[in-house]
């Protein structure tokens, strides 16, 4: 079977690239090893209930944001429901902080909880940076640069306000807090650190201002849930791709990539596929294992993060009875003493919407829970039940659930992620931000500078649905720029 482009994996970055390339008239085949599309931004069904695979929050539909750009390009609408309040954070001192989506309302709330000292200038600065970052991201789709043509195209699109962002790549969020004399506010520092983990996968001393400010401000943009789960985010894009003659094939785990004179040979357990061009939407760690070209693997090794610099996750899926979904669906709970075995200092829980009978029929509610596992290849969790009980105790303590509400509990360790998703080391959430790796030093979309490209959460810009959507846009841009 021969196509113009074969795409490995059906995560949202892959599907973004597939849709945009299909729109250009190219024949595309997406190969997915699982039975559902969407990768870590999808849903799975268990015993009649739909649970989220990984991501539970959705942003990106505001002006100058990648998801809005994609949907406008392919003229697809999504069945989304906007959240009035994106999140609440349960702090270590017992206070509940509401992350309002209006800047003024949020600043008032931050001042109420953390004190008025310099909260306003800090958040106004972060929000301004985040707006500039999102606007620039779609104006500079050739970034990061890896060819002279990238530089030329970016130079022609350069604007003075874009250059103002450059110094912020050299400052960490720790520097920004120091600038506003906020490092002595321990409650605020703890809040910033745990919030950065959600979307930047690291703490303030490592995350640069560009990524950090954008990560901290995602609740100040439109936040949405998708009735029936995030599977209904990806299915409209899948349907767009297949309705135009391209293919999405499930149960095809790719085993080998061989570069040929006229393109690529991609071998799965069930078949072989040929294509002029290739896009890998699976992690860079996994992608390099598929290549037979030792020189290429050696050349790209400098971009690969080892397991000690990655995060895994311990996840739980709950079915609850005799409970109304909270008015706020998403909650982060801080745990200063840490969780057993993994020492994580926070957990994140997302409830299904009260009107979403597709995810939770029979007047039940489903909830997804996740917490970070540092260096997942070393943290082997032997006693899942003890960790489950510790997490449930925290939720009960904060009055989000009661033990008699629980109908069923299922959990997965990083080892479960390896089995289910095949992701190396069970890593989730993308590559964490590190201050030694500037944005232009991250892996760009080109894999071999012949016809292979990369998208997903281990290539610029990284984490979250909105980030991987942008990575798919950039991979498409560079493929078309190089060959059409």
For 392-428, the pLDDT digits (tens) are 999 999 999 999 999 999 998 888 888 888 899 988 8
3-state helix, strand, coil in the chain (%, to 5): 40, 20, 40
Residue 291 sits in a domain of what CATH number?
3.50.50.60
Q: Are residues 292 and 214 in the same domain?
A: no
Q: Which of 295, 213, 280, 291 is nearest to 258 (CA)?
A: 291
- Out of 402, 426, 450, a domain closes at 426
Question: Do 297 and 441 lie in a common domain?
Answer: yes
Does residue 359 lie within any of the structural domains? yes
The whole-number pLDDT of residue 378 equals 76
Q: Answer positive or negative: Cα dihedral of 119, 125, 129, 135.
A: positive
Same-domain check for residues 202 and 186: yes
Which residues span the domain enclosing 359?
307-426
Residue among 86, 56, 87 nearest 359 (CA): 56
Q: Give mean pLDDT, residues 261-278.
A: 95
Read off the pLDDT of residues 349-371 as tens digits, 9 standing for 90 and up.
999 998 899 999 888 999 999 99
Given a contact cutoff of 8 angstroms between Cβ atoms, the answer to whether 162 and 141 are in contact is: no
Residue 11: which region, alpha, beta or left (left: phi > 0; alpha: psi -120 to 50)?
beta
Q: Does any domain span residue 314? A: yes
95 inside domain: no
Q: Among 214, 223, 219, which residue's Cα sits nearest to residue 135?
A: 214
Q: Is residue 386 part of a domain?
A: yes
Q: How many C-beta atoms lie closer than 10 Å to residue 300's C-beta? A: 18
Please compute the mean of the pLDDT values over residues 184-190 and round it to a whole number.
97
Do 117 and 185 reside in the same domain of the chain?
A: yes
How large is the angle between the packed helices 231-243 and 66-74, nearest 10 degrees?
Answer: 40
Number of domains composing the chain: 3
How confident is the model over 119-128, as a mean pLDDT?
98
Last residue of a domain, one of 168, 196, 221: 221
Q: Is the pTM of this model over 0.75?
A: yes
Work out the pLDDT band at 271, boundaries 50, 70, 90: very high
> Mapping DSSP to helix (H, G, I), strand (E, B) and coil, where does residue 449 land?
coil
Asked whether residue 355 is assigned to any structural domain, the reply reads: yes
Q: What are phi and psi of 28, to 5 degrees?
A: -125, 140
Q: Are residues 369 and 412 in the same domain?
A: yes
């Amino acid at each position: 079977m021969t196509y113009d482009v074969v795409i490995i994996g059906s995560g949202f970055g892959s599907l973004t690239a597939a849709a945009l390339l299909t729109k250009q008239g190219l024949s595309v085949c997406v190969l997915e090893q699982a039975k559902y599309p969407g990768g870590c931004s999808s849903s799975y069904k268990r015993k009649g209930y739909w649970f989220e695979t990984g991501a539970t929050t959705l942003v990106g539909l505001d002006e100058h944001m990648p998801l809005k750009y994609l949907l406008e390009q392919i003229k697809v609408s999504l069945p989304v429901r906007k959240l009035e309040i994106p999140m609440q954070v349960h702090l270590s001192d017992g206070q509940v902080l509401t992350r309002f989506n209006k800047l003024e309302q949020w600043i008032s709330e931050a001042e109420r909880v953390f004190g008025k000292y310099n909260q306003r200038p800090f958040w106004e600065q972060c929000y301004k940076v985040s707006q500039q970052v999102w606007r620039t991201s779609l104006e500079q789709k050739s970034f990061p640069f890896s060819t002279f043509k990238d530089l030329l195209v970016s130079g022609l699109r350069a604007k003075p306000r874009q250059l103002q962002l450059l110094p912020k790549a050299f400052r960490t969020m720790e520097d920004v807090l120091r600038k506003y004399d906020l490092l002595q506010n321990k409650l605020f520092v703890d809040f910033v650190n745990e919030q950065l983990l959600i979307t930047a996968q690291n703490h303030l001393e490592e995350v640069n201002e560009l990524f950090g400010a954008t990560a901290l401000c995602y609740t100040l943009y439109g936040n949405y849930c998708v009735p029936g789960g995030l599977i209904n985010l990806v299915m409209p894009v899948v349907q767009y791709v297949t309705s135009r003659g391209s293919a999405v094939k499930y149960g095809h785990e790719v085993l080998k990539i061989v570069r040929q004179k006229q393109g690529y040979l991609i071998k799965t357990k069930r078949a072989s596929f040929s294509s002029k061009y290739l896009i890998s939407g699976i992690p860079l760690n996994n992608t390099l294992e598929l290549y037979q070209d030792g020189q290429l693997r050696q050349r790209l090794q400098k971009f690969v993060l080892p397991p000690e610099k990655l995060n895994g996750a311990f996840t739980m899926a709950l079915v609850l009875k005799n409970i109304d979904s909270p008015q706020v669906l998403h909650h982060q709970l801080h745990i200063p003493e840490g969780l057993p075995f993994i020492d994580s200092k926070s957990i994140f829980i997302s409830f299904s919407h009260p009107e979403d009978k597709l995810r939770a029929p029979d007047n039940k509610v489903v909830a997804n829970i996740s917490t970070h596992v540092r260096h997942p290849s070393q943290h082997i969790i032997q006693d899942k039940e003890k960790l489950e009980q510790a997490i449930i105790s925290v939720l009960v303590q904060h009055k989000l659930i009661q033990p008699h509400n629980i109908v069923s509990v299922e959990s997965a360790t990083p080892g479960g992620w390896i089995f289910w998703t095949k992701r190396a080391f069970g890593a989730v959430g993308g590559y964490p931000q590190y201050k030694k790796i500037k944005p232009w030093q991250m892996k760009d979309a080109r894999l071999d500078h012949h016809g292979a490209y990369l998208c997903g959460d281990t290539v610029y810009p990284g984490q979250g649905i909105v980030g991987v959507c942008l990575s798919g846009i950039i991979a498409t841009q560079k493929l078309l720029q190089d060959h059409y």
